[in-house]
Amino acid sequence: MTTTNRSKQALVFVAHADDEAVGCGGYIPLLVERGYQVVLVIGSCAHFIRSGKEVNNRAHVEQSAAVLGIDDVHFLEMEDQRFENYRTMEITGKLEGLGLEPELILTHSGQDLNRDHRVINEMALLYARPAVRRARILGCEVINNAEFHADNFRANFYVNLSSTLEVKKKAFDCYVNEIRRFPHPYSVDAIEVKARQRGMEAGLASAEAYQVLRWFD
């Protein structure tokens, strides 16, 4: 995809296709509006076997990215739910090879039940060590995973979704292979319920919650 000419760069570094929509789909369009070039890097190859059938979300990533305003998408081509089998140097090397210079990184929280998510969290922290690059890092909340870790997700950074909640829902709606019926967390209604809950915590009609993992003034 073509990279836009923007002065600031934000990296959305997530494990799987749909994680960017679920975790950051409200903040991304705000960053684009504020002049950021948002680069999406997905750890997996975006296709896998589920219940004996092949699932391919690759095209849905492109559709969701277009909704969010992302025009630069990369895949690290790792096998879904097998990230722990890859060497740290292999993963960070692939990321370094993209030649990015992000000022802000949105990635997974370490308080997440999904092991692939935790691997990406660790890789993001390694990639953005201050001696190498001084990027601010926020950990996002992926429902159906963050709630069930022994050390629950504790939000300390909120983004107002008053103008982008519908965009987030539309971006998630692109993932037809992943959508379930409410009350399953992977439903469009659940996306709104979570946004309302987080908004209530922040005195807003709707919000997206994050953890500050590293910050520079």
* Tens digits of residue pLDDT in 170-216: 999 999 998 999 999 999 999 999 999 999 999 999 999 999 999 99
Q: In this predicted structure, what is the pLDDT of residue 150?
A: 67
* pTM score of the predicted model: 0.94
pLDDT at 4: 47
Q: How confident is the model at residue 50 (pLDDT cuts 50, 70, 90)?
A: confident
Mean pLDDT for the chain overall:
94
Sign of the four-CA dihedral 86, 76, 134, 109: negative
Is the pLDDT at 54 greater than 90, yes or no?
A: no
Task: Give dist(CA 153, CA 146) in Å, integer.
Answer: 6
For residue 13, the model assigns a pLDDT of 98
